[in-house]
Structure 1
Amino acid sequence: MKEKRLSLGWVELLRPKFFFFLSLFIFSKSPHHCICTDSSRFRSKRRPPELYWSLQPVRDTHEKQIQLWKELILDYCKAQKVFLIGVVEDFPLFSNSAIDRTLSHEARETFLSAIVGEGSAEWLDKGHRKCLILWHRIQDWADIILHFVKENGLEDSLMTVEEIRSGTESHGTKLQGIDRTILMRTLKLLENKGKLALFKRTSADDEGVKFSV
């Protein structure tokens, strides 16, 4: 009888972990675990298991939780062309009204810091209130710009910075709507490599770019 009670005790102890990993497994295998370009469909189809809305104390599950949220944030930002996340501001992924759950400030900072740690984001302030998301790294953006220049026959052309972001040639490309901070950093990288020259025009918002690819 004592042995039976002991075995039942182990069952009760392991039951919460069993259902936790079961929910994680089902979520990872779900056909809805995908990217949707429409933000509302993305939010409804790709959510972490309910237990993942609170920071997990167990090391293994905590690491899995961070990995899931890193992928989720980066995939969402890439699909929706989001470049900046404010930790204390509303962000679609950080709350789910259907189950009345919201990520704590600590959880938001933890997940974003993990993305910063792998080089796919940068904190813009010491207080960790604004995070610049680099779902393409600066070198990758440089390659995209060079491909854009060659594809459009702009090797020896003049353009403004704003034209690269919102001009006719950039419409429908990865460069359309690119964050200005990321764009300027990328252009300066290319300038250092001798691929272009930046020059001032009549205003700071109308800086010129002379390609020499």
Structure 2
Amino acid sequence: MASSLTPSLAPATTATSYTLPPTGLSEPTRIEPANALPSGNQPSFAYPPLYNFPPFYTLQPNTTTRQAQLQAWSGLIQSYCKYHRTWRLSLVDAIDTPLFRNDALNRRLSLADAQTVLDWMANKDAGGGGGRAEWISTKDKSLAWIYWRRPEEWAELIAGWVDDTGQKNTVLTFYELMEGEMTTSQEFHGMDPDLFQKSLNLLVKRGRAQVFGSEDQQGVKFF
């Protein structure tokens, strides 16, 4: 099947229906760092088997195949962004990176198809991607949050750390939580400040936290 596709970094303008191989469809290979930030000892990112299947780079017309393809792209994007600690994904910048472009195959996903994938990821309805992305630039769809953990999941992760370390009723600065030594082993260490704030706001709304201070020196008390 791969040989029937004309190699071109410009994706095909028409899609021929293919049955994608089952290997690696539901969950791409993930690398889970021992520490929050990648270290010099960390292995290189491992791509899923579908990354080397040429039809993967053209969205397929068959509904069932397309749904599986969207799931696979979503998993790859989440894993890639998690590994590289990419909180906001600029499609304009990323479209010619290895995330969407496979130089060995001379194939890439088009910008329009990448936007379709992120649209699907952002869809929280049944049959959608479960809100694993959120457009930041809604008009041109060039920049999006990528949620390998959604804000509510980050909120629970932070709250769990607070419980585990006995930090309830203690005022902690945002800097201590995101950059301090006591959180270096936590996944939220080095988190994007805006996403951190978005996640904390959910705890505030639930009465589980209160934010203090000015924008440049904020603190939070957990209950």
TM-score by length of 2: 0.75
SS in 2 for 1:28: coil
- The gaps in structure 1 that reach 5 residues or longer are 1-15
Matched residue SS, 1:177: coil
1:55 aligns with 2:66: no
Structure 2 runs not aligned, ≥5 long: 1-15, 33-41, 124-129
Equivalent position of 1:205 in the other structure: 216
Q: CA RMSD in A?
A: 2.5
Judging by fraction of residues, say which structure has more helix.
Answer: 1
- Alignment deviations for residues 137-184 of structure 1 (CA, whole Å, 9 cap, x no partner): 222111111111122221121211122111111101111121212210
Identity within the alignment, %: 27
Cα deviations by residue, 1:30-71 (Å, 9 ceiling, x for unpaired): xxx522355744248661521111122333322222121112
Q: What does 1:55-204 correspond to in 2, within 5 Å? A: 55-90=59-94, 91-117=97-123, 118-126=130-138, 127-201=140-214, 204=215
The residue identity in structure 1 corresponding to 2:196 is: L
Contact kept, 8 Å, 1:160 with 1:206, in 2: the verdict is yes
When the two structures are aligned, how many residues end up with a matched partner?
Answer: 189
Query: Which amino acid in 1 is paired with 2:65?
Result: T
8 Å CA contact retained: 2:50, 2:56:
no
Greater Rg, structure 1 or structure 2? 1
Structure 2 residue aligned with 1:28: 24
Match of 1:88, SS state, is: helix
Q: The residue matched to 1:92 in structure 2 has which SS? A: coil
- 2:29 and 2:48 in contact (8 A); partners too: no
Code of the residue aligned with 1:182 in structure 2: it is L
AA partner of residue 108 (structure 1): A
Task: Supply the AA of the counterpart residue of 2:134.
Answer: E
SS of aligned partner of 1:169? helix
- Cα distance change of structure 1 residues 125 and 155 upon mapping to structure 2, 3 Å threshold: same
| Aligned match of 2:38 | none
Aligned with 1:209: secondary structure?
strand
Displacement, 1:89?
Answer: 0.9
Moved segments of 4+, more than 4 Å: none
Take 1:147 and 1:103, find their aligned partners in 2: how far apart are those partners?
Answer: 38
